[in-house]
Amino acid sequence: MTRALGLVVVALLALSGPARGLDPSQDAVEQARAAPRRVGVAKLIALLREGQADAVTDRALALLAEIGAREGREVLILYTHHRRTQARALAYRALGRTNDPALGVVVARGLRDGAAEVRAASAHALSDLGAKQATSVLLQALASGVAEAAPAIGRLGDLTSLAAFDEQLGKVPLSVMLSGYEAFLAREDLGDAAKLRIVARLEEVGGAVTHDFMVQLARRPEAKLSPVVRQALAASAARIAPRGTTTPAKALDDGTVRP
Amino acid sequence: MNRALVALASCALGCGALVGCATTRAVGTHGALQHRACTDEAPMLRPEPAPTPPRRLLAAVTEAKPRELLVYDLDERRVLWRRPLDADHRPELLGDLVVTTAGGLALGFDATSGAPRLRMPLPKPQLVAAARQGTRVFLVTRAEASGDETTSSSLTALDLEQGRVAWSRELREACSGLQLAQGQVLTLIAHRDLLAFDAVSGEETGCTRLAKPGRSADWLRMTDTGLLYGSRNVHALQGEGTLELPAPAPAAPTLHSADDFEVSASRSAHGRVALLASLRADGAHGPRLAGDTVFFVFYRALVGYAGDGALRFVRVFDADVARAEPSPFGLDVVLESGVLWHVENDGSARSVGTLGARVGSASLPAGAPPVASAEPPTAAEPLERALTELALDPDTRLLPVRELAVDALSAMSEPRATCDLLEVHRARTSPASLRARSAERLRTRSIGLDCLVSALDQHADFLSGTPAPALAAIVPALVAQREARAVPALVEHLFDPATDAADLPLLVDALAALGGTGAREPLAQFLALYRNDSALADQPETLRLLARVLGPESSDGAAEASAAIQPLVPATVASPPAVHDATARKPLAATSLADERAFPKLTAPRHLPRTPPADEGAPFWSLSKQRASANAPAPTSPPWWLDQNPLFLSVEPPPAAAHRAPAPTPTDPSLVPADHAPEKEDAWWTPVQSETPDAGPDAR
Whole-number pLDDT of residue B169: 92
Instruction: Compute the nearest-CA separation of B564 from chain A (Å).
Output: 10
**DSSP secondary structure string for all residues of chain A:** -HHHHHHHHHHHHHHT---SS--HHHHHHHHHHHS-HHHHHHHHHHHHHH---HHHHHHHHHHHHHHT-GGGHHHHHHHTT-SSHHHHHHHHHHHHTT--GGGHHHHHGGGG-SSHHHHHHHHHHHHHHT-GGGHHHHHHHHHTT-TTHHHHHHHH--HHHHHHHHTTBTTB-HHHHHHHHHHHHT-SSS-HHHHHHHHHHHHHH-SHHHHHHHHHHHH-TTS---HHHHHHHHHHHHHSPPTT-SSPPEEPTTS-EE-
Q: Is A101 on the interface with B (CB under 8 A)?
A: no
- Dist. CA A45–CA A70, nearest whole Å: 11
Whole-number pLDDT of residue B579: 33
Which residue of A lies nearest to B650 if distances are taken between CA atoms? A14
Q: What are phi and psi of B179, to 5 degrees?
A: -135, 155
- Dist. CA B46–CA B245, nearest whole Å: 25
Of B172-181, B484-493, B649-658, which has the strongest mean pLDDT?
B484-493
The residues near B567 (Cβ < 8 Å, ≥ 6 apart) are B488, B491, B492
Q: How far is CA A197 from the centre of its chain?
A: 25
Q: Is the model's pTM score more than 0.80?
A: no
Q: Shortest CB distance from A82 goes to which of B527, B529, B573?
A: B529
Lowest mean pLDDT among A85-94, A167-176, B34-43, B159-168: B34-43
Whole-number pLDDT of residue A8: 62
Q: Is B500 helix (H, G, I), strand (E, B) or coil?
A: coil
pLDDT single digits (tens) B267-277: 887 778 888 88
pLDDT single digits (tens) B28-76: 333 333 456 777 766 666 666 666 666 889 999 999 889 999 999 998 9
Whole-number pLDDT of residue B682: 44
Q: List chain B residues with CB under 8 Å of A39.
A: 580, 613, 615
Q: What are phi and psi of B315, to 5 degrees?
A: -140, 140
- Dist. CA B402–CA B386, nearest whole Å: 11
B520, with CB counted inside 10 A (0-12, 13-18, 19+), is buried
B439 versus B638: which is more confidently predicted?
B439
Lowest mean pLDDT among B394-408, B461-475, B591-605, B622-636: B591-605
Q: Is B399 helix (H, G, I), strand (E, B) or coil?
A: helix
Looking at the DSSP assignment, which residues form a beta bridge with residue B158?
B137, B165
Show contacts of A182-187: CB within 8 Å, 24+ apart.
A182/A151, A182/A154, A182/A213, A182/A217, A183/A150, A183/A151, A183/A152, A183/A153, A183/A154, A183/A155, A184/A154, A184/A157, A185/A154, A185/A217, A185/A223, A185/A225, A185/A229, A186/A154, A186/A223, A186/A224, A186/A225, A187/A154, A187/A155, A187/A224
B273, with CB counted inside 10 A (0-12, 13-18, 19+), is buried
Answer yes or no: do B636 and A53 touch at CB < 8 A: no
Task: For chain A, give the number of residues.
Answer: 259
The residues near B441 (Cβ < 8 Å, ≥ 6 apart) are B406, B407, B409, B410, B421
Looking at the DSSP assignment, which residues form a beta bridge with residue A209?
none
Q: Is B497 helix (H, G, I), strand (E, B) or coil?
A: coil
Model confidence band, residue B667 (pLDDT cutoffs 50, 70, 90): very low
Whole-number pLDDT of residue B9: 40
Alpha helices (H) in B531-618, listed in sequence order: 540-550, 557-561
Which of A2, A58, A81, A117 would best serve as a mutation to test chain B binding (most B beta carbons within 10 A)?
A81
pLDDT single digits (tens) B509-529: 999 999 888 889 999 999 999
Model confidence band, residue B248 (pLDDT cutoffs 50, 70, 90): low
Whole-number pLDDT of residue B250: 65
Of A66-75, B198-207, B332-341, which has the strongest mean pLDDT?
B332-341
- Dist. CA B186–CA B195, nearest whole Å: 6
Q: List chain B residues with CB under 8 Å of A73.
A: 573, 576
Q: How far apart are the first and last CA of chain A?
A: 70
Whether B483 contacts B452, CB under 8 Å: yes
Whole-number pLDDT of residue B97: 92
Answer yes or no: do A19 and B463 touch at CB < 8 A: no
Given a cut of 60, is residue B364 above it in pLDDT?
Answer: yes
- Dist. CA B208–CA B45, nearest whole Å: 12
Q: Counting one residue from A and one from B, how many pairs have CB atoms under 8 Å apart?
A: 179
Lowest mean pLDDT among B131-140, B278-287, B495-504: B278-287
Which residue of A lies nearest to B567 if distances are taken between CA atoms? A78
Answer yes or no: do A103 and B531 touch at CB < 8 A: no
Which residue of A lies nearest to B641 if distances are taken between CA atoms? A10
Model confidence band, residue B651 (pLDDT cutoffs 50, 70, 90): very low
Task: For chain B, give the number of residues.
Answer: 700
Residues 68-97 in A contacting B (C-alpha not used; CB under 8 Å): 68, 70-75, 77-78, 81-84, 87-88, 97
Percent of chain A having pLDDT more than 70? 83
Alpha helices (H) in B495-653, listed in sequence order: 504-514, 520-530, 540-550, 557-561, 620-627, 640-644
Residues 23-52 in A contacting B (C-alpha not used; CB under 8 Å): 24-25, 27-28, 30-39, 42-43, 45-47, 49-52
Whole-number pLDDT of residue A232: 92
Lowest mean pLDDT among A179-188, B223-232, B688-697: B688-697
Given a cut of 70, is residue B596 above it in pLDDT?
Answer: no
Residue B513 amino acid letter: A
pLDDT single digits (tens) A139-176: 999 999 999 999 999 999 999 999 999 999 999 999 99
Whole-number pLDDT of residue B263: 82
- Dist. CA B374–CA B331, nearest whole Å: 18
B213 versus B7: which is more confidently predicted?
B213
- Dist. CA B339–CA B465, nearest whole Å: 41
Q: What are phi and psi of B378, to 5 degrees?
A: -90, 125
Looking at the DSSP assignment, which residues form a beta bridge with residue B321?
B335
Given a cut of 70, is residue B619 above it in pLDDT?
Answer: no
Looking at the DSSP assignment, which residues form a beta bridge with residue B195?
B187, B207
Which of A31, A56, A137 would best serve as a mutation to test chain B binding (most B beta carbons within 10 A)?
A31
Given a cut of 60, is residue B310 above it in pLDDT?
Answer: yes
Whether B207 contacts B173, CB under 8 Å: no
Q: List chain B residues with CB under 8 Å of A36.
A: 671
Answer yes or no: do A74 and B581 touch at CB < 8 A: no
Taking residues B183-204, report their average pLDDT.
89
Answer yes or no: do A57 and B533 touch at CB < 8 A: yes
- Look at residues B656, B663, B655, B658 and name the one whose alpha carbon lies nearest to residue B679: B663
Whether B583 contacts B528, CB under 8 Å: no
Element (H, E) at B44: none
The number of C-alpha atoms within 13 Å of B561 and in the hemisphere containing its C-beta is 28
Q: List chain B residues with CB under 8 Å of A6.
A: 700
Taking residues B450-456, report their average pLDDT.
95
Percent of chain B having pLDDT more than 90? 42
pLDDT single digits (tens) B551-583: 864 434 434 433 433 334 333 333 333 333 333
Give whole-number Cα distances, B625 to B123, B361, B644, B685, B686, in Å: 122, 105, 12, 14, 13
Q: List chain A residues with CB under 8 Å of B533.
A: 51-54, 57, 82-84, 87
- Dist. CA B457–CA B454, nearest whole Å: 5
Interface pTM, i.e. ipTM: 0.83
The residues near B218 (Cβ < 8 Å, ≥ 6 apart) are B176, B188, B191, B230, B231, B254, B258, B259, B260
Model confidence band, residue B635 (pLDDT cutoffs 50, 70, 90): very low
Model confidence band, residue B215 (pLDDT cutoffs 50, 70, 90): confident
* Mean of all residue pLDDT scores within chain A: 86
Given a cut of 60, is residue B696 above it in pLDDT?
Answer: no
Answer yes or no: do B497 and A88 touch at CB < 8 A: yes
Q: Is A142 on the interface with B (CB under 8 A)?
A: no
Whether B343 contacts B331, CB under 8 Å: yes
Q: Is B476 helix (H, G, I), strand (E, B) or coil?
A: helix
* Mean of all residue pLDDT scores within chain B: 76
Q: Is B654 on the interface with A (CB under 8 A)?
A: yes
Give whole-number Cα distances, B30 to A3, B35, B377, in Å: 130, 9, 55
Model confidence band, residue A4 (pLDDT cutoffs 50, 70, 90): low
Model confidence band, residue B316 (pLDDT cutoffs 50, 70, 90): very high
B111 versus B42: which is more confidently predicted?
B111
